[in-house]
Amino acid sequence: MKIRFWGVRGSIASPGPHTARYGGNTTCIEVRSDAGELIIFDGGTGIFPLAQSLLKQLPVSANVFITHTHWDHIQGLPFFTPLYIPGNRVRIHGAYDFVSGSGIEQVMNVQLQYSYFPVREAELRAAIEYQTLTIGEAVVLGDATVTNMLLNHPVTNFGYRVDCNGKSMFFSGDHEPWTNIYAAGDADFDEYQAMIDARQAEMEAFLKGVDVLVMDCSYTTAEYPSKVGWGHGTFDGSLELAYRVGAKKLVCTHHEPTRSDEELEKVFADLLTRVPANGPEVVLAREGMEIEW
Amino acid sequence: MSHISPEVEKKLGLAVEKMPAFPKSVQKVLELTRNINCLPRELVGVIEKDPVMTVKILKVINSAAFALPNKMTSVNQAVVFLGLNTIKNMALSFAAVGILPRMNTAGFDVQRYLMHSLTVASIARKLASQQVTGDVDPGDCYIAGLLHDFGKVVFAQFMPDEFSAALAYCQEKQVPLHVAEEAVIGADHTVVGSMLAARWQFPTPLVECIRDHHKESGHSAMGDCLRMADQICRYRQFGDSGNPYRVGEAVIAPQRFGDDLDAVIASLGDLDHFVAEAQSFALVGTE
């Protein structure tokens, strides 16, 4: 199994000298199963350089899984070049949207509107299929199985787990650990706490023993109090999660767009001082980084 | 066994999509959501007092499209699963449908209906948590109270002529409203309410509780809490949801609550704040 990171930035693409080493593209992760099945998590701007690399391997059969439909996870999709080439097959998976009442098929047609993009959806020449997933639905792709879990973000967000010949990885998409909306002492506090504790336990059971855990680590613990409800996690929260579920490796991603490479490394060095002796290996996601095992 | 024709069932089932919410909740949702830092618990507090918004949210999240492993029965559960922003945007889209008029064309007073539903909901929840601990979820009792008469609003909104005739029949013959509905429309509000709840994939105990709330016997603990709360509201005249028929003082479920109605009421402590809260929610914003 192999993972390659093509986009590791959160919120907005942030190119420039300050982000040159870790990269400024928004989320896109390529996963290859042992047998070579192509699984792509999210279509942020990082999907464009991935598309360039795929042009050497035509025809392409790609399985795209969208964690959620915020711009930084979908805005590269219209530039996914294999969509324009006959003979390619692209299947796009994602969640149902409760507010619009639409399935994942809207991810392309909202972007390919006349005022915003010159190509119409009907003009894409690859065989494109949309598969709206229900919670926990497993998708079998050759030797790999992709399952989802509903996480916590301001729009429906699926975290995805890939299992392949006893190896496994998980990508959170964007996720903020559940917090109680009531204050201690409020009538509904205990009931609400029980519900979020159950969600947390369900998540940890879902992640149990995963080899590589790729998590949204947008903020530091110090930054988090002013970002509650924005839908993102912290470095330390992800480390604690990785430790509890027995993950072998934690990859911190969704780097904050204003955080320079130097600042990112400083925050990360600080985090490393808190990794327990028997804890996971912890790395920062970087464009071009590959993990193979 | 009363039943409604497939045509009427279809008409009523589709109608709820178009049903406007109550004035106070629409006003509060619009007000709260103008502030990006609005407190989640305040928004939940508004939504869960409006039967229309509650129903619409639970209907969407329980729909087959998402195949949730367990059926949802509270707005808080919906927030835990889908997140506050999704619930906020759903509430805003329901607010955009408009507001229910104070009196609709059938002559049905929707404010009094809301007052009754909210008070029954709060008392049913209190009965469940204080007197039948363990047997029943207090949150489910709240929803049962909030929705038990929902069939009436649907009748009033979408079959106003028939419902108006039922209201007149009930006054004229001095019979309970559900008897009048059965005589005039061919089905009462429990049939319509439970039919809709089943269609929205609400949990079976909740559907049965709505369906059976005018039956004499065979009630679950949730059903007893609901009927007891309903009796207390009528007896203390906290609002009657369009049904002027007076109830007796014999406790409706003595095996669970004892046979002294005044003692049951006294055991609940001060109910005035429930009533005042329901009153302010039901009546403000209607002038």
Give the domain CATH number at A70: 3.60.15.10
Is there a contact between B67 and A134 if contact means CB atoms under 8 Å apart?
yes
Mean pLDDT of A72-95: 97
Q: pLDDT band at residue A120, thresholds of 50, 70 and 90?
A: very high
Residue B106: predicted pLDDT: 82
With 50 as the cut, is the pLDDT of residue B287 above it?
no
Mutate to test the interface with A, among B43, B44, B66 (most CBs of A within 10 A): B66
Amino acid at A132: T
% chain A with pLDDT above 70: 100
Residue B2: predicted pLDDT: 58
Is there a contact between B69 and A153 if contact means CB atoms under 8 Å apart?
no
Mutate to test the interface with B, among A98, A188, A200 (most CBs of B within 10 A): A98
Query: A150 in contact with B at a CB cutoff of 8 Å?
Result: yes
> B148 and B46, same structural domain?
no
Number of domains comprising chain A: 1
Identify the domain boundary among B40, B69, B95: B95
> B187 and B279, same structural domain?
yes
Q: If you search the block for the tokens 């995963």, which residue do you land on?
A: A210
Q: Which residues pair with A144 in a beta bridge?
A: A141, A164
> B257 and B218, same structural domain?
yes
Residue B36: predicted pLDDT: 85
% chain B with pLDDT above 90: 49
- Between A and B, how many residue pairs show a Cβ–Cβ distance under 8 A? 65
Residues 9-28 of B with CB under 8 A from A: none
Residue A95: predicted pLDDT: 95
Residue A177: predicted pLDDT: 98
Six-digit token string for B11? 């008409």
Residue B247: predicted pLDDT: 66
Question: Is residue A223 within 8 Å of A236, Cβ to Cβ?
Answer: no
Amino acid at B252: I
Question: Is residue B145 within 8 Å of B126, Cβ to Cβ?
Answer: no
With 50 as the cut, is the pLDDT of residue A124 above it?
yes
Q: What is the pTM of this model?
A: 0.92
With 90 as the cut, is the pLDDT of residue A22 above it?
yes
Instruction: Give the domain range for residue A21.
Output: 2-292
Question: Is residue A220 within 8 Å of A183, Cβ to Cβ?
Answer: no
Instruction: Give the domain range for residue B183.
Output: 110-283
> B71 and B128, same structural domain?
no
Query: B146 in contact with A at a CB cutoff of 8 Å?
Result: no
Residue B286: predicted pLDDT: 42
Six-digit token string for A166? 């006893």
Query: B86 in contact with A at a CB cutoff of 8 Å?
Result: yes
Number of domains comprising chain B: 2
Six-digit token string for A227? 């970002």
Identify the domain boundary among B66, B95, B124: B95
CA A225, A231, A235, A237 dihedral sign is positive
Q: What Cα–Cα distance (Å) separates residue B56 from each residue in A178, B30, B51, B203? A: 24, 17, 8, 15
Least confident span in A187-201, B121-135, B237-251: B237-251
- Residue B235 sits at φ, ψ, to 5 deg, of -65, -40
Mean pLDDT of B72-97: 92
Residue A220: predicted pLDDT: 98
Six-digit token string for A171? 């990508």
Residue A217: predicted pLDDT: 98
B15 domain-assigned: no
B13 domain-assigned: no
Of A134, A136, A181, the CB nearest to B79: A181
**A196-212 tens-digit pLDDT:** 999 999 999 999 999 99
Six-digit token string for B249? 């003082």
Q: Which long-range contacts (CB under 8 A, 24 or more apart) does B119-122 make?
A: B119/B229, B119/B233, B119/B238, B119/B239, B119/B274, B119/B275, B119/B278, B120/B145, B120/B146, B120/B148, B120/B226, B120/B229, B120/B230, B120/B233, B121/B145, B121/B146, B121/B229, B122/B274, B122/B277, B122/B278
Q: pLDDT band at residue B251, thresholds of 50, 70 and 90?
A: confident
With 60 as the cut, is the pLDDT of residue B284 above it?
no
With 80 as the cut, is the pLDDT of residue B57 above it?
yes
Among candidates B103, B136, B162, which has minimal Cα distance to B227?
A: B136
Mean pLDDT of A108-114: 93
Residue B244: predicted pLDDT: 67
- Residue B31 sits at φ, ψ, to 5 deg, of -65, -50
Q: Chain B: nearest CA to A155, how far in angstroms?
A: 6
**A142-155 tens-digit pLDDT:** 999 999 999 999 99
B232 domain-assigned: yes
Residue B234: predicted pLDDT: 86
Residues 25-84 of B with CB under 8 A from A: 39-41, 44, 60-61, 65-69, 76-77, 79-84
> B71 and B29, same structural domain?
yes
